[in-house]
Structures are given as C-alpha cells and as structure tokens.
Amino acid sequence: MSAKNLIDGVRRGFAIPLGLNRSRDVIARLIYGSSYSAALAAENDGKLNPPALADDRTASIATTYGPWVPELAEVARAYLAAVASPFDFLSLEDLVALANLSALRDADGFIFHEPSAVSVEPPAWAEKLTADLEDQLAGLGSEAIIELSALVTLGREEVGSYAGLLRQARANRGYGCLSAWLSAMPIHRYAAKGLAKLEQAGLELIALHPEMSKWLVDPPLAEPQTGELSLQAIIQLEQELQELISKADLPEPSEFYIRSTCQTLGRLKDPDSFGRDEQMPYLTIGHAERRYAVICACGDLQLGKAYYFAGDLEAAAKRVHHARVFISDLARIIEEGAPVARHASEGGRAKARKLDPLKRELMRLLEAERPASGWRSIERTAAALRDPMLKANEGLESGPVLSGSLESTLVTWLSKDVEVRKVYLRNRLAKASS
C-alpha cells in the first residue's frame, strides 16, 4: 500500500479537527516521523521506512495539537495491523515469534529442511528448541494452525494459491497433527516465501520485519550420501518395512500398502511428485497417521528401484534415503510412542491454564472499567485496558505469561475467545446502559 493510501485510510477512520493537508501531515509525522511531502518523496526514492508508531512521537505531536492525538494513534495502530495481516486467526505476533524461534534453531548450522530428509539425529540443543517451538504451536487455536500450515505449504511449493491451500488444510486436517508437522519445518523460511507470494499484504509484513528478507534465500542443501546403493539393500529395506507393519497396529497387511502405492503411482502423470500428493499432505512419521507414512515409504522404495534399474543412481539414492529415514522413524515411534504430539497436547493445556487468570482479569476489567456509554470498539477497549493488563501479566506468581504486543492478544481475546467476547458484548455501547 502506498504511503498516500495508508495515510488517507487512517484519516478516514478518525475525525481529525484539521483541514486535509494538515491532517495528512499529522498522520505522516505520527507513523513515518516526517512530513507528508517528505514521506512521499522518500517513497519515490525507495527510502521510506516502514510505518510504525512510537510513544515519544505520539506524545510530542499531542503536545502541539491536543489530547485527541493518542486516539488517532490507536486508530492508526488498528489500521496498520489490519493492513499488514492477511490472516483471520493467526496473529502477526505469533507468526513472528514462531519464525524467530525456527530461525534460532537453524542459526548454528543444523538446518531443518524437510522432516523426511534429515539424515542425522538432531543435537540436544536443536531438540530443545524444537520442543519450545512445539509448545508455542500448541498454544495456537486450530484455525490459526490451519492458516499457518497453508502459509508454510505455500512457501514450500512452486505453485498453488493461499486460498486453495487453506481449503486443502481444512479438508485434510484429519490426516495427522498439523502442529507436530509444522514443528519439524523451517517455519521462518517457508513463511517468508509464502508471504512474498501473497503479494501486497505479505510484502508489507516483510517490510515491517526486515529480518524476513534474508529468509527468502535458502542455504545450499547438502546432497544425500549415496553410500553402497544396491538392489539387495532396497530389498532389505522392504523386508524391514514389512516386519514393522506387523507391529505398527495397522489395519491392513503390508501387501495392501504396496498395492495401494503402485495404484497411486500409476495414476500420477509425474511419479516423482509422489509424496506431495494432496491425498497425503502430512507424511512425517509420528506426525501423520501411520498408514499414510507407510504408503510414502513404500512409494519411495518403488521409485528407488525404478531409478536404480534406469541407471539414475543419484535419484535412486535420494528416494532410498528418504525411505530409510521413514522406516527408522517408524521403528522408533513403534517402540517409544509419539512424544511430539503428546508434548504438544500437554503444552497446549499447560499454556491454557497459565492464561486463565489473565482472561478472568480481563473479564473483570471489562465490567469494572466500563465507560459510562460502554466500550466503543475492540481496538479502543484493548488500548484502554493495556496498562492494567500489563500489570496483571507482570504480577502473576509464576511470572509473566504474555510477551510481545499485549494489545494484539487482547484484541484476539475480545474478538475470538467465547467467554471474553460474551462479557465484552454485554458491556459495549448502548448495551452497557440497558
């Protein structure tokens, strides 16, 4: 969005007691720190900083123009959030926090490119960061998880639309645990690429968080080691998989999965796209239903043999390598269970329990601090209750639970949380006085 359109959008959302030119100038100084004409000139030169609000700047402008400036700033804050966010349920605060944690996990060189392509066991520090990532993912609502998975998939794939991937994620969520699937992804890289494909809204978000720009380029992938690739090695892996199927509490014998795999491969125009098919979107052992993961492992072995006989040993090695990792992971899951999904579930319940006291305090404040005419809007309510909620957060015996933009969390609760929204609706505007 251009600076002119952004400034005029904020201007239309608040009745500024000034003329057109002076109103534009005040808004430009508020969100860009420069005059209207200077902001447009900087934009033409490609030197305009991303729009942002600063408390000291707001206070300085209020000293000159009057006490209505902080209210204008809250309207601008809500407008900026609406412009920057292409999502209905996934907050920008959560997206940035998850991306930063994912980037930290990759920072020391252990790159998570794809769960099925990791060729070595992750070190302890990487496992700890993955557990932290799972815990944060577990705190998201189901719709936010679906939006994040659609964004990540958009960043992974060469083609596709966000709307289509959103529909697909909703339709296929029964295949496995999306939170656990996401925890093994390089969320920061795929999210940045997905945002870039969302065009204006996504590019504006990247501009607000410049660190995302460097995530648009992946580090070079290490080529899988071919090792001693032979037909006997592939057959041995098939035998291992058959033995595991009998122990994996699956409804069908191994022959059923091999037959299903061959039928699927026969229907594909491009057999090498196997494993990305929309019928099998979440194919990570322990994260997906086991029968789909078994089909994927079978498919990798079938394609590995085909490439082997065709003389393409590099492609054969890649497929066999994937199958070997699937089979190794399946053996571990059969023996140990699926701790990732269990951890995510427990983490979500634990985070919900920690948030309960703050939600109760917000509901109390909605009643106790209600203006005489009632609450005017969700954004203004969140801004008015920000400071007492900040004190409540910092005063928890267990220590602060919320971090980052507190107001965006309050907006989410006021608009999405059933109990909080019920109290808010009871106390807004005319309804409050009845």
Q: What pLDDT digit, counting tens, does each position of 256-307 carry?
A: 877 888 887 777 777 776 765 433 433 444 444 667 778 778 888 888 888 8
Among 304, 320, 337, give the residue marking a domain's end.
Answer: 337
Do 117 and 188 fall within a single domain? Answer: yes
Cα–Cα distances in angstroms (integers) from residue 343 to residues 138, 188, 352, 394, in the given order:
9, 22, 14, 26
**Quick one: 24 and 96 in the same domain?**
no
Query: How many CB atoms are located within 10 Å of the residue 403 CB?
Result: 10
User: Do both 250 and 304 map to the same domain?
Assistant: yes
Distance CA 199, CA 215 (A): 16
Do both 110 and 204 map to the same domain?
Answer: yes
- Does 71 fall in a domain? yes
256 and 195 in a common domain: no
Q: Is residue 226 part of a domain?
A: no
Choose one of 50, 65, 84: the last residue of a domain. 84
Question: pLDDT digits over 336-374, tens only?
Answer: 654 444 444 444 555 566 778 888 899 999 999 998 888
Same domain, yes or no: 51 and 124: no
37: in domain: yes
Whether 144 is in a domain gets the answer yes
**Do 349 and 331 share a structural domain?**
no
Do both 23 and 103 map to the same domain?
no
Say yes or no: 236 and 324 in one domain. yes
| End residue of a domain, out of 337, 372, 393 | 337
Q: Are residues 368 and 352 part of one domain?
A: yes
- In-domain check, residue 396: yes
Distance (Å, whole) CA 310 – CA 359: 62
Q: Which residue has the higher pLDDT, 62 or 272?
A: 62
The count of structural domains within the chain is 4
Same domain, 332 and 358: no
Same domain, 387 and 428: yes
- With 80 as the cut, is the pLDDT of residue 397 above it? no
Note down the domain range covering 10. Answer: 3-84
**Residues in Cβ contact with 309 at an 8 Å cutoff, skipping those fewer than 6 apart:** none
Higher-confidence residue of 433 and 134: namely 134
